[in-house]
């Protein structure tokens, strides 16, 4: 039996009294790339937020296990320590908070959670400068305030930079392709591709198939109205592209 | 919802610096009358003119009404129950720091401001004031070689009477306000700085004030004079021990910058703020004012205010010299039942004078945080300019933030720009940071420090680090 990285069982969740996720089940093995496709309002981003533990979302039923631990009972920062990383669709600006201060705190908190010694200032700077260069960002990027005045592309690259530094085992990409032109999309995707490894899994949330063409998911789930309509391989993406959501919905609903 | 609760829970922590030092203290009986003032003056071996100045102020003070215009609710102070003088028991003058009372030294160690460390690491000369009298002074020799005078005000009154007589009370006259007047009558001690012509003070001058005896009103008085073309950076930091009674702290600070001189005055104020329920805490009623007397002179106030039950202070600048510059950078953080009414006055008299005001208020718990500022242009202030930015941040929903920017212009060519914002600390910002592994406490600390950055970066390096820690500690709570 293979060891599951993430197992979602019949998850029902939403905001206050409104149930948005109506019984989601899926399992991700280490190294797998899963994609969730679905239209706006289908509950894709809610799933990402519930997994990351965003305050304001409530769980009504079901369970989520990560590395065999009860994910839903953990604080958001503990989930990050466990290796869950959410690349935000709209990374928030934090005026005045210097990028390098932020990154140093984040890296060392996560290291501490994982039982590693904190990086000293010198080693941290060496590491972070290397990654900044890798992403083709300028060196004064680290002196800027977190996401403040960043272009769309810079914001997404900043998410990737954090991903590189925090070395998560489960990466959730929430509409990482939104707001990027084709060139920027290609660049960002290339960086993500390089992050693929047998120990690292991805859950990619998108409603455009473009990103998936590069990332080649192992499993594709189609989400509709808080439920998974169907799951499958690359053929599901093709199917979606050719026939659209509505057709798939009809064919699933009419299936015997 | 849940986030809000955690946040509120966690802003209700207790004061971290609550302890009392058990050192022998000499006090005089409580109460205030002419005899007490004579006694204070006598104990300090003051010349006759100083006693007369005190008595004159006392006469004026007796006829003055207590002010009530600030947006503060204040329990009345019983001036007759206060003790107006307390000093650590007289000891022979200290030759070195080793002779310092071990108890006092331990106190500094607890605060993380051990004198040795400061001497070695930061190159800061420290004039430590414990209960109103200077007990340790360092770097005096080095400064003396440059002609810089840095001593207690009492010593200056005896050793440098001409300078003190010439300037004391010229920026804040005794009639100025109720508390300044009281201070003139009963001030215990404080610091005196004189920087001679053309001298750039090579180190940051620093004083730590402590209130240490039960029921002792603390009446510090500081006078700083920067002669032509000189420069000085002065740091003032305060913490006070935990106690239940309200304590009055009514200090006066006067700064005088002559032609082309510059004074940078930085404060970290962390007096005991009272407990979670608003009991106890210091009343901090301070008059701070500087005058840019000569052309091209500059005075810059930077303050980080996190303590006191009530803070009432407006570090101000009179811009008299043409082309002179006044600056005010402020962070005021209030929580639990703290009240702060603070801001500045920029009085533009000279031509082409410029002033900058950056104020960052942070309110949490049930606290009230008010910015009150006046920018005034007289008819002679041709081409004068002011830029004001007053931001308020609310943490939680039971606190208040208020902004009262007053502008008076009698000069058509003067330009004033004003910006004001009010924001709530955003759940999205906190979640973003927590998703990256930071706990709630650290997340709040980083967001608040970011918000205050424009002000904190005005502080000298080592002070800025201390201020950042203080802001985080002040927001620390019972979470986790």
pLDDT digits (tens, 9 = 90+) for B458-474: 888 777 877 887 777 77
Residues of chain A positioned with their CB less than 8 A from the CB of B423: none
Interface-testing mutation among A50, A52, A55, with chain B (most B C-beta atoms within 10 A): A55
Segment A124-133 mean pLDDT: 93
Q: Does A141 touch chain B (CB under 8 A)?
A: no
Mean pLDDT for A159-179 is 91
Pairwise CB contact (< 8 Å): A145 & B450: yes
B3 contacts chain A (CB < 8 A):
yes
Distance from CA of B61 to the nearest CA of A (A): 45
- pLDDT value of position B457: 87
Give the list of residues 6+ apart from residue B347 with CB closer than 8 angstroms, or none: B316, B317, B318, B319, B374, B376, B378
- The stretches in chain B having pLDDT less than 50 are 1-10, 90-94, 107, 116-125, 130-137, 209-216, 242, 244, 478-480
Phi/psi of residue B263, nearest 5 degrees:
-120, 130
Nearest CA in chain B to A148: B450
CB contact under 8 A, B437 and A109: yes
Residues of A in contact with B440 (CB under 8 A): 77
In this predicted structure, what is the pLDDT of residue B237? 73
What tokens were used for B116?
């040795």
Give the residue from B287, B423, B401 showing the smallest Cα distance to B335: B401
Q: How far apart are CA B359 and CA B370, in angstroms?
A: 10
Residue B192 CA to residue B318 CA, distance in Å, equals: 20
What CATH architecture is A6-91+169-254?
3-Layer(aba) Sandwich (3.40)
CB-nearest partner of A77 from B3, B426, B439: B439
Whether B298 and B183 have beta carbons less than 8 Å apart is answered as: no
* The predicted structure's pLDDT at residue A74: 96
pLDDT of residue A188: 83
Residue B254, min C-alpha distance to chain A (Å)? 32
Give the residue from chain B lying closest to A159, CA to CA: B436
Residues of A in contact with B391 (CB under 8 A): none
pLDDT of residue B213: 42
Q: Does A70 touch chain B (CB under 8 A)?
A: no
In terms of phi and psi (left: phi > 0; alpha: psi -120 to 50; beta: otherwise), the region of A77 is alpha
* A249 interfaces chain B, CB cutoff of 8 Å: no
pLDDT band at A242; cut points 50, 70, 90:
confident
| A55 CB within 8 Å of a chain B CB | yes
Task: Write down the residue that tokens 């104990």 correspond to.
Answer: B43
CB distance B446–A102 less than 8 Å? yes
Is A80 in contact with B446 (Cβ distance < 8 A)? no
Answer whether residue A87 shows pLDDT above 90.
yes
- The overall average pLDDT reported for chain A is 90
d(CA B324, CA B301): 14
Using an 8 Å Cβ cutoff, are B337 and B274 in contact? Answer: yes
Q: A166 at the B interface (CB within 8 A)?
A: yes
Q: Counting beta carbons within 10 angstroms of the beta carbon of residue B75, is it exposed (0 to 12), middle (13 to 18) or buried (19 or more)?
A: exposed
pLDDT for A49 equals 96
Nearest C-alpha neighbor of B295 from the set B326, B328, B322, B317: B322
> What integer pLDDT is reported at residue B119 of this predicted model?
42
Between A146 and B95, residue with greater pLDDT: A146
3-state secondary structure chain A: CCCCCEEEEEEEEEECCEEEEEEEEEEECCCCEEEEEECCCCCHHHHHHHHHCCCCEEEEEEEEEECCEEHHHCCHHHHHHHCEEEECCCCCCCCCCEHHHHHHHHHHHHHHHCCCCCCCHHHHHHHHHHHHHHCCCCHHHHHCECCCCCCHHHHHHHHHHHHHHHCCCEEEEECCCCCCCHHHHHHHHHHHHHCCECCEEEEEEECCCHHHHHHCCCEEEEEECCEEEEEECHHHHHHHHHHHHHHHHHHHHHCC
C-alpha separations of B268 from A240, B111, B235, B306, B339 in Å: 62, 13, 8, 8, 17
SS3 (DSSP) at B52 = helix
Which residue of A lies nearest to B479 if distances are taken between CA atoms? A75
Residue of B428, B429, B436 lying closest to A166 (CB–CB):
B436
Q: Does A92 touch chain B (CB under 8 A)?
A: yes
**Å from B447 to nearest chain A CA?**
7
Question: What is the C-alpha separation between B457 and B480, in angstroms, rounded?
Answer: 31
pLDDT given for residue B132 in this prediction: 40
Q: What percent of chain A has pLDDT over 70?
A: 99
Pick B9 or A238 by higher pLDDT: A238
Q: Which of A210, A231, A217, A222 is nearest to A249 (CA)?
A: A222
Where are the CATH 3.40.50.300 domain residues in chain A?
6-91+169-254
Query: What ipTM was reported for this prediction?
Result: 0.95
- Using the Cβ of B8 and the Cβ atoms of chain A, whether some distance falls under 8 Å is answered with no
Across the interface, which of A56, A88, A146 has its CB nearest the CB of B427? A56
pLDDT of res. B24: 56
Extents of the domains making up chain B: 2-313
CB contacts under 8 A, B 450-479 vs A, are: 450-454
Cβ A52–B435 below 8 Å, yes or no? yes
């Amino acid at each position: 039996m293979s060891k599951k990285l993430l197992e979602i069982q019949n998850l029902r969740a939403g905001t206050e009294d409104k149930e948005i996720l109506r019984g989601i089940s899926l399992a991700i093995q280490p190294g797998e790339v899963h994609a969730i496709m679905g239209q706006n309002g289908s509950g894709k981003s809610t799933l990402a937020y519930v997994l990351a533990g965003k305050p304001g979302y409530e769980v009504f039923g079901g369970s989520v296990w990560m590395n065999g631990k009860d994910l839903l009972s953990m604080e958001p920062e503990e989930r990050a320590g466990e290796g869950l990383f959410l690349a935000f669709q709209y990374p928030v600006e934090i005026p005045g908070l210097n990028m390098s201060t932020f990154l140093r705190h984040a890296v060392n908190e996560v290291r501490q959670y994982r039982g590693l010694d904190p990086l000293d200032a010198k080693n941290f700077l060496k590491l972070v400068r290397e990654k900044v260069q890798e992403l083709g960002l300028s060196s004064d990027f680290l002196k800027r305030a977190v996401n403040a005045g960043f272009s769309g592309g810079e914001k997404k690259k900043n998410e990737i930079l954090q991903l590189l530094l925090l070395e998560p085992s489960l990466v959730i990409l929430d509409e990482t392709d939104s707001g990027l032109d084709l060139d920027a999309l290609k660049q960002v995707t290339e960086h993500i591709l390089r992050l693929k490894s047998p120990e690292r899994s991805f859950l990619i949330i998108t409603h455009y198939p473009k990103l998936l063409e590069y990332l080649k998911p192992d499993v594709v789930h189609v989400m509709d109205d808080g439920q998974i309509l169907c799951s499958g391989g690359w053929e599901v993406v093709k199917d979606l592209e050719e026939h659209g959501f509505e057709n798939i919905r009809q064919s699933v609903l009419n299936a015997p | 919802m849940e986030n809000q609760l955690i946040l509120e829970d966690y802003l209700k922590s207790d004061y971290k610096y609550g302890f009392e030092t058990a050192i022998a203290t000499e006090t005089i009986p409580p109460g205030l009358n002419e005899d007490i003032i004579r006694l204070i003056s006598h104990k300090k071996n003051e010349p006759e003119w100083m006693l007369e100045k005190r008595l004159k102020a006392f006469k004026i003070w007796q006829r003055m009404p207590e002010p009530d215009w600030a947006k503060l609710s204040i329990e009345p102070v019983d001036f007759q129950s206060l003790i107006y003088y307390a000093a650590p028991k007289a000891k022979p003058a200290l030759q070195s720091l080793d002779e310092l009372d071990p108890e006092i030294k331990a106190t500094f160690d607890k605060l993380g401001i051990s004198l040795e460390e400061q001497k070695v690491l930061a190159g800061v000369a420290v004039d430590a004031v414990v209960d109103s009298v200077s007990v340790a002074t360092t770097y005096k020799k080095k400064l003396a070689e440059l002609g810089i005078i840095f001593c207690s005000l009492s010593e200056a009154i005896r050793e440098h009477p001409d300078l003190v007589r010439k300037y004391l009370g010229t920026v804040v006259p005794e009639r100025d306000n109720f508390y300044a007047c009281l201070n003139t009558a009963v001030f215990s001690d404080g610091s005196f700085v004189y920087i001679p012509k053309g001298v750039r003070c090579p180190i940051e001058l620093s004083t730590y004030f402590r209130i240490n005896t039960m029921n002792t009103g603390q009446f510090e008085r500081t006078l700083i004079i920067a002669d032509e073309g000189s420069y000085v950076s002065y740091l003032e930091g305060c913490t006070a021990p935990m106690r239940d009674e309200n304590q009055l702290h009514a200090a006066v600070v006067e700064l005088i910058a002559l032609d082309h001189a510059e004074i940078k005055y930085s404060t970290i104020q962390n007096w005991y703020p009272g407990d979670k329920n608003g009991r106890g805490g210091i009343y901090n009623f301070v008059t701070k004012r500087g005058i840019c007397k000569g052309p091209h002179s500059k005075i810059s106030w930077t303050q980080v205010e996190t303590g006191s039950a009530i803070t009432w202070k407006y570090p101000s600048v009179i811009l008299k010299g043409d082309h002179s510059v006044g600056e005010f950078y402020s962070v005021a953080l209030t929580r639990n039942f703290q009240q702060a009414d603070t801001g500045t006055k920029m009085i533009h008299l000279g031509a082409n004078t410029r002033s900058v005001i950056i104020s960052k208020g942070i309110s949490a718990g049930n606290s009230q945080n008010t910015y009150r500022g006046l920018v005034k242009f007289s008819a002679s202030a041709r081409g004068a300019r002011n830029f004001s930015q007053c931001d308020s941040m609310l943490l939680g929903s039971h606190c208040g933030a208020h902004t009262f920017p007053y502008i008076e212009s009698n000069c058509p060519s003067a330009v004033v720009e004003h910006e004001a914002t009010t924001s709530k600390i955003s759940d999205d910002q906190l979640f973003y940071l927590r998703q990256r592994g930071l706990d709630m406490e650290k997340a709040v600390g980083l967001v608040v420090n970011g918000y205050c950055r424009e002000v904190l970066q005005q502080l000298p390096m080592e002070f800025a680090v201390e201020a950042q820690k203080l802001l985080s500690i002040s927001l620390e709570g019972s979470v986790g």
